[in-house]
């Protein structure tokens, strides 16, 4: 979720990551679609919503007739640009050019550019594709991305675009970062293939010392990688920004044991793949250069007050147990120091020369989540974890304008065993200087707390609550929601 101030009006763009089928189609057995109409309903319930909000006597309300309001769904026309656009693997019968896709999928985290656009990130896109032919032999590369013969949504039974036996290239048109202009509801979203194809978490944008655009990107799967994009050209305020996310270099992170690290460029020379393929089979390219397998990189957040960035490594039960989907080993070490890591940690790095475009960086762990009440050693967590702020599975992260790091969790909320005393998923706030972390709020039962943004005056914080079991009315169907939080004294919150 991101809030944009457009001509003095407040416009929120929020992701609708996935549908809860049993809630969206309550008349069907386990919510499974039984018709094309069911599939269309589910497709229209996901994607991105852009809408204006305004503060009135009763608090924040949606401006229902705003010209900014729009829904972007699984069927909205989009352009594909960058190194992979037009490649044979992106061409379909409906789009022989390989440059005009439909829809954006499983939009997880987001980002914002200095020029006022929203970046929405396609994460578990693989789950929408299946095959009506049980004997269909999947193309090379599908395994690495988890594209199987059975989907989670049954789209393929009613919409041949999602049937890989009929439209085998359609999955290659998903897994990207999509740029949306929230100031123009008629604009066509753009899939920026230069930012790589993988299970994108968020896209944290900052500027290098020379004002080139730097985007940090996590691939949220066990043993996958952390990426960085650096544009060829510099950002100039008011200048032409249309090519800044098309022409640039994609890198992947390698962390060394001694606290140093480096960004490895994914070039044809380094990977043995051509430029377009690097941006279609990005995971394979990163494996080829020997990147560090990570404990599920979720959001990256850049500190506005100093040149450093943080990445939530949410958890990884496979650490030191088995390799990633590409066969890369996942040994204990570096920023992934625990075998069978079910608590997660947050790594941070400071680029050499205080420049986000630098090749090298120094890293350390800001926090290792854990449980000091039931665990010893590394599983108890780092010193800044106490019985009063225990959490697991850090996920969403956002810096506020005062340099405080807001941390949201998406983990085990059983409150038992290894997780005793942690309670529901929650939101915490961390001080990067002192390391102190305090619990700020807890979500309703069953929910993930994800997405945070601020009103222009910084006096309201909007927080996303995803898939609660019951909220706020225990009798009604539970719905994902946005909560607006203000201080009782009306002061700035972030
Ligand atoms: Ca994720
Ligand atoms: Ca997440
Ligand atoms: Ca997560």
Tens digit of each residue's pLDDT (9 = 90 or more) over 424-443: 999 999 999 999 999 999 99
Note the pLDDT tens digit of each residue in 151-163. 989 999 999 999 9
Structure-token match 């059975």, residue found: 150
Quote the ligand 1 centre to 314 CA distance (angstroms).
Answer: 8
Task: Give, for 365, the enclosing helix (H) or strand (E).
Answer: strand 360-368
CA–CA separation, 245 and 179 (whole Å): 9
Instruction: Tell which phi-psi region holds residue 320, choosing left (phi > 0), alpha (psi between -120 and 50) or beta.
Output: left
Span from the CA of 211 to the centroid of ligand 3 (angstroms): 31
Percent of the chain whose pLDDT exceeds 70: 100
Q: What distance in angstroms lies between residue 199's CA and the mean position of ligand 1's atoms? A: 8
Burial of 220 (0-12, 13-18, 19+ CB in 10 A): buried
**Ligand 2 center–CA 224 separation, angstroms:** 14
Q: Which runs of E-coded beta strand occur in 172-269? A: 177-180, 190-192, 200-207, 212-219, 226-234, 248-255, 260-265
Residue 476: predicted pLDDT: 83
Question: For the segment 200-224, what is each residue's pLDDT rounded down to a tens digit?
Answer: 999 999 999 999 999 999 999 999 9
pLDDT digit string, tens, across residues 284-323 = 999 999 999 999 999 999 999 999 999 999 999 999 999 9
Secondary structure class of 205 (helix, strand, coil): strand
Is the pLDDT assigned to residue 393 strictly greater than 80?
A: yes
What is the CA(88)–ligand 2 centre distance, in A?
32
pLDDT of residue 477: 84
111 Cα to the center of ligand 2, angstroms: 13
What gap in Å lies between CA 333 and CA 276, rounded to an integer? 33
Q: If pLDDT is split at 50, 70 and 90, which confidence band does 474 have?
A: confident
CA of 299 relative to ligand 3 center, distance in Å? 9
Residues less than 5 Å from ion ligand 2, measured at CB: 298, 395
Q: How many angstroms is it from 392 CA to the middle of ligand 3?
A: 11
314 alpha carbon – ligand 3 mean position (Å): 7
- 297-326 b/e with 16+ CB inside 10 Å = b? bbbbbbbeeebbbbbbbbbbebbeeeebbb
Ligand nearest to the CA of 123: 1
Instruction: Kindly report, residue by residue over 2-47, the tens digit of the pLDDT.
Output: 999 999 999 999 999 999 998 899 999 999 999 999 999 999 999 9
DSSP-derived 3-state class of residue 352: helix
Cβ contact 293:327 at 8 Å: no
Quick one: pLDDT at residue 475? 82
Residue 336: closest CA among 308, 352, 316, 351: 316
Give the residue carrying structure tokens 């006597």.
Answer: 57
pLDDT tens sequence across 350-365: 999 999 999 999 999 9
Cα 204 to ligand 2 centre (Å)? 14
| C-alpha of residue 131 to centroid of ligand 3, in Å | 27
List, in sequence order, the alpha helices (H) in 31-173. 36-45
Mention every residue, 6+ apart, whose C-beta is less than 8 A from residue 211: 234, 235, 236
CA distance 109 to 106: 10
User: How does DSSP assign 288-317, residue by residue?
Assistant: HTTPPP-B-EEEEEE-SSSS-EEEEE--BT
H/E run at residue 451: strand 448-454
* pLDDT value at 91 more than 90: yes
Q: Which residue has the higher pLDDT, 473 or 424?
A: 424
The confidence band for 478, taking pLDDT boundaries of 50, 70 and 90, is confident
- pLDDT over 90 at 253, yes or no: yes
Question: Could you say which ligand is closest to the alpha carbon of residue 15?
Answer: 2
pLDDT at 131: 98
Distance 56 CA to ligand 2 centre (A): 32
Q: Kindly give the distance from the C-alpha atom of residue 457 to the centroid of ligand 1, in angstroms, as a whole number.
A: 29
Q: Is 150 exposed, middle or buried (0-12, 13-18, 19+ CB in 10 A)?
A: exposed
Ligand 2 centroid – CA 16 distance (Å): 12
Give the distance (Å) from ligand 2 centre to CA of residue 57.
34
| Ligand that lies nearest to the alpha carbon of residue 199, given by its number in the listed order | 1
Confidence of residue 242 (pLDDT cuts 50, 70, 90): very high
Can you tell me which residue has the tokens 């006022």? Answer: 116
What pLDDT, on a 0 to 100 scale, did the predictor assign at position 473? Answer: 80
What does the pLDDT read at residue 60?
A: 97
The average confidence (pLDDT) of the chain is 97
Compute, in degrees rounded to 10, the torsion defined by CA atoms 100, 102, 106, 108: 50
**Nearest residue to 81 via CA among 243, 206, 236, 213:** 243
For residue 28, the model assigns a pLDDT of 95
Is the per-residue pLDDT at 471 higher than 80?
no
Here the tokens at position 490 are 């009306």
For residue 4, the CA-to-ligand 3 centroid distance in Å is 25
What are the distances in angstroms from CA 332 to CA 65, 177, 288, 382?
54, 30, 20, 17
In percent, the amount of the chain with pLDDT more than 90 equals 96
Over residues 67-76, mean pLDDT: 98
Does the structure show a pLDDT above 90 at 129? yes
| pLDDT confidence of residue 160 | 98
Q: Ligand 1 centroid vs 313 CA: distance in angstroms?
A: 10
CA 44 to centroid of ligand 1, rounded, Å: 21
Pairing of strands 345-351, 190-192: unpaired
Q: Which two tokens stand for residue 421?
A: 């005393």
């Amino acid at each position: 979720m991101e809030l944009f101030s457009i001509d003095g009006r407040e416009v929120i763009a929020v992701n609708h990551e996935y549908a809860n089928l049993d809630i969206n189609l309550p008349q069907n057995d386990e919510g499974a679609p039984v018709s094309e109409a069911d599939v269309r309903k589910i497709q229209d319930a996901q994607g991105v919503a852009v809408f204006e909000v305004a503060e009135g006597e009763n608090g924040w309300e949606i401006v229902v007739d705003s010209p900014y309001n729009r829904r972007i769904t699984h069927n909205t026309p989009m352009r594909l640009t960058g190194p992979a656009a037009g490649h044979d693997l992106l061409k379909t019968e409906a789009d022989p050019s390989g440059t005009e896709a439909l829809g954006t999928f499983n939009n997880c985290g987001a980002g914002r550019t200095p020029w006022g656009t929203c970046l929405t990130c396609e994460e578990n896109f693989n789950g929408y594709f299946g095959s009506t032919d049980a004997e269909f032999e999947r193309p090379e590369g599908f395994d690495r991305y988890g594209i199987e013969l059975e989907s989670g949504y049954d789209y393929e039974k009613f919409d041949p675009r999602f049937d890989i036996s009929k439209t085998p290239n359609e999955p290659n048109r998903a897994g990207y970062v999509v740029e949306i202009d929230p100031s123009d509801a008629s604009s066509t979203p753009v899939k920026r293939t230069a930012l790589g194809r993988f299970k994108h978490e968020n896209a944290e944008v900052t500027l290098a010392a020379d004002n080139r655009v730097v985007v940090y990107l996590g691939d949220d799967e066990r043993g996958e990688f952390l990426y960085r994009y650096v544009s060829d050209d510099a950002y100039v305020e008011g200048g032409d920004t249309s090519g800044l996310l098309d022409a640039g270099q994609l890198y992947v992170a390698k962390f060394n044991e001694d606290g140093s690290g480096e960004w490895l460029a994914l070039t044809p020379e380094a990977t043995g793949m051509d430029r377009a393929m690097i941006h279609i089979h990005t995971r394979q390219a990163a494996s080829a250069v020997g990147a560090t397998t990570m404990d599920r990189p979720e959001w990256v957040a850049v500190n506005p007050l100093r040149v450093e960035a943080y990445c939530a490594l949410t958890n990884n039960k496979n650490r030191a147990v088995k390799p990633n989907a590409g066969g890369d080993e996942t040994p204990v070490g570096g920023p992934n120091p625990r075998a069978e890591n079910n608590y997660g940690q947050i790594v941070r790095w400071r680029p050499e020369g205080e420049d986000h475009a630098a090749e090298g960086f120094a890293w350390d762990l800001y926090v290792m989540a854990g449980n000091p009440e039931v665990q010893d050693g590394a599983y108890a967590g780092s010193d800044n974890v106490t019985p009063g702020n225990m959490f697991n599975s850090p996920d969403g992260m956002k810096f506020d304008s005062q340099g405080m790091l807001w941390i949201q969790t998406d983990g085990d909320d059983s409150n038992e065993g290894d997780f005793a005393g942690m309670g529901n998923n929650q939101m915490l706030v961390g001080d990067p200087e002192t390391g102190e972390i305090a619990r700020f709020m807890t979500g309703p039962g069953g929910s993930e707390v994800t997405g945070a943004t601020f009103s222009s005056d910084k006096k309201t914080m909007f927080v996303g609550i995803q898939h609660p079991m019951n909220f706020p009315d225990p009798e009604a169907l539970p719905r994902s929601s946005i909560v607006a939080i203000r201080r009782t004294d009306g002061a700035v919150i972030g």
